[in-house]
């Protein structure tokens, strides 16, 4: 009878320990997901209206564009977060910037522009957004 009671206490002890470990693991993982940055409604365009809405949303733009805009919405930031925006022409990095995103959600517009005011060169471009080492988006477009 004493062996059964001891065995039952051991089973209850390990079951309780397992349950506590499971709750700890779930709580730990759910916290990391809630801090994840989510980017959606990504648009690249050469025209912007007075309300920061992009017009002429296509992946090919005619030569003469002096600026290309990247507009996106984001959510799930508990504190102020940062993103890195990388603009490439072919394999060459032409611009990179770090931007703060105030939480918890919002809409942002960033642009690629030549400092000398000349039109952007013809070619294939890519814009990449990183949150730390994590890539959030990669969009390509062409200026013909």
pLDDT in tens, 49-59: 776 666 666 67
Question: What domain count does the chain have?
Answer: 2
Same domain, 5 and 54: no
What strands, in cross-sheet order, belong to the sheet with 134-143? 60-61, 134-143, 123-131, 81-89, 92-101
Average pLDDT of 38-55?
79
Same domain, 96 and 44: yes
Alpha helical stretches, state H, the chain:
2-34
Tokens of 25: 């693991």
Cα(41)–Cα(49) distance, integer angstroms: 17
Q: In the predicted model, what is the mean pLDDT of the chain?
A: 82
**pLDDT at residue 32, rounded to an integer:** 42
Same domain, 30 and 85: no
Residue 2 has pLDDT above 80, yes or no: no
Q: Which domain holds residue 75?
A: 36-143
Q: Is the dihedral of CA 91, 97, 100, 106 positive or negative?
A: negative
Q: Could you tell me the pTM of the whole model?
A: 0.70
**pLDDT at residue 36, rounded to an integer:** 79
DSSP 44-62: EESEE-TTS-EES--SEE-
Residue 110 has pLDDT above 50, yes or no: yes
């Amino acid at each position: 009878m004493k062996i059964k009671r001891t065995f039952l206490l051991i089973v209850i002890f390990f079951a309780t320990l397992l349950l506590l470990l499971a709750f700890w693991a779930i709580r730990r993982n759910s916290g990391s997901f809630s801090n994840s940055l989510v980017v959606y409604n990504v648009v690249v365009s050469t025209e912007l209206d007075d309300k920061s809405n992009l017009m002429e949303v296509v992946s090919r733009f005619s030569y003469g564009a002096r600026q290309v805009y990247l507009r996106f919405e984001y959510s799930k930031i508990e504190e102020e977060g940062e993103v890195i925006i990388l603009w490439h022409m072919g394999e060459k990095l032409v611009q990179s910037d770090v931007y703060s995103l105030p939480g918890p959600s919002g809409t942002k517009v960033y642009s690629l522009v030549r400092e000398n005011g000349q039109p952007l060169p013809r070619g294939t471009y890519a814009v990449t957004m990183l949150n730390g080492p994590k890539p959030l988006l990669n969009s390509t477009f062409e200026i013909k």
